[in-house]
């Protein structure tokens, strides 16, 4: 029986320069591998050790990158290790099988959204009407499924985010603040639903997961065992659950630790 390892990417396995959180003297910093180039510039990194661990993991488990990124944003990431057979993009809206979106899965997601929550247009309109241009840099719609804003964190009123979360909750939507982005995502659009589908297709009987943000909470709760880093929305909220380990590491070193925990757990499961 294969072990399924479903992990968030940004600020869980891969880190922008601003999110590395290196605290040691420069001369002792770990060597970093750039795994994403955007507009001809390096954007995301993991440690070289983490890169080796991810390669080993890809050889021993079904590793499923599980991200809120759009397909296009995901496809410019160049992860070490064997190319994953399955990848989850758009917070579960697209299930890629050998790089191609599964049409049946996407149709099922659309049907659920139409049934269970307010339409994207209503949320978009609310964001355009209430978000202050003083701190909003960009309004974005991802894959016609959800919306996000790119904001200036220093100027953002935290009160506004709380008000938005309440407004969204009443319409079946969730709000998540991650770095410079505020996401508004339909509640039924979850990473965990897509991971369950991959578990069904692969026959996996053990699922491991990791993530740092509110949009990863359902993923962690659905897993048999999970880890979250010492930074991020979940850590800030002291979020925890019985099968979840809250790691002390922050930044890119948390990514390395998570991969070590995945690999150790996969190996011990396979030796039983
Ligand atoms: Mg993340």
**Structural domains in the chain, sorted by start:** 3-110+190-271 (3.40.50.1000), 118-186 (3.30.1360)
Q: What is the pLDDT of residues 172-200, one digit of tens each?
A: 999 999 889 999 999 999 999 999 999 99
Q: Please tell me the distance between residue 110's alpha carbon and the centre of ligand 1 in angstroms.
A: 24
pLDDT-derived band of residue 127, with 50, 70 and 90 as boundaries?
Answer: very high
Q: Please tell me the distance between residue 272's alpha carbon and the centre of ligand 1 in angstroms.
A: 32
Q: What is the pLDDT of residues 11-36, one digit of tens each?
A: 999 999 999 999 999 999 999 999 99
In the chain, what is the straight-line distance between the N-terminal and C-terminal CA atoms, in Å? 12
- 37 within 8 A of 76, measured Cβ to Cβ: yes
Q: Please tell me the distance between residue 238's alpha carbon and the centre of ligand 1 in angstroms.
A: 16
Q: Please tell me the distance between residue 248's alpha carbon and the centre of ligand 1 in angstroms.
A: 16
- 261 within 8 A of 56, measured Cβ to Cβ: no
Q: What is the pLDDT of residues 37-96, one digit of tens each?
A: 999 999 999 999 999 999 999 999 999 999 999 999 999 999 999 999 999 999 999 999
pLDDT-derived band of residue 1, with 50, 70 and 90 as boundaries?
Answer: confident
Q: Please tell me the distance between residue 134's alpha carbon and the centre of ligand 1 in angstroms.
A: 26
pLDDT value at 272 more than 90: no
d(CA 49, CA 164): 40
Q: Please tell me the distance between residue 244's alpha carbon and the centre of ligand 1 in angstroms.
A: 16
Q: Please tell me the distance between residue 10's alpha carbon and the centre of ligand 1 in angstroms.
A: 4
Task: Provide the pLDDT for residue 100.
Answer: 98
Average pLDDT, the chain: 97
Helix extents (H) in the chain: 48-60, 71-75, 103-116, 120-130, 158-169, 191-202, 217-222, 233-236, 252-270
Task: Provide the pLDDT for residue 195.
Answer: 98
């Amino acid at each position: 029986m294969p072990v399924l390892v479903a992990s968030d990417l940004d600020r869980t396995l891969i880190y922008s320069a601003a999110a590395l959180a290196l605290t040691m003297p420069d001369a002792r910093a770990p060597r970093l591998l750039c795994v994403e180039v955007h507009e001809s510039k390096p954007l995301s990194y993991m440690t070289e050790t983490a890169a080796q661990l991810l390669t080993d993991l890809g050889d021993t488990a079904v590793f499923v990158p599980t991200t809120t990124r759009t397909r296009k944003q995901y496809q410019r990431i160049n992860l070490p290790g064997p190319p994953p057979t399955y990848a989850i993009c758009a917070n579960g809206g697209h299930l890629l099988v050998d790089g191609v979106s599964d049409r049946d899965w996407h149709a099922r997601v659309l049907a659920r959204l139409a049934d269970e929550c307010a339409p994207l247009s209503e949320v978009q309109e609310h964001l355009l009407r209430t978000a202050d241009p003083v701190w909003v840099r960009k309004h974005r719609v991802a894959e016609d499924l959800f919306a996000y804003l790119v904001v200036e964190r220093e100027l953002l009123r935290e009160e506004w985010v709380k008000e938005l979360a309440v407004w969204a909750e009443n319409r079946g939507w969730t709000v998540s603040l991650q770095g410079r982005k505020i996401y508004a995502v339909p509640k039924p659009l979850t990473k965990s639903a897509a991971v369950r589908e991959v578990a069904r297709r692969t026959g996996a009987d053990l699922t491991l997961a990791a993530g740092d943000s509110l949009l990863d909470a359902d993923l962690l709760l659905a897993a048999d065992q999970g880890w979250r880093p010492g930074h991020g929305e979940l850590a800030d909220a002291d979020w925890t659950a019985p099968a979840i380990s809250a790691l002390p590491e922050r930044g890119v070193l948390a990514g390395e630790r998570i991969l070590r925990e995945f690999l150790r757990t996969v190996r011990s499961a396979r030796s039983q």
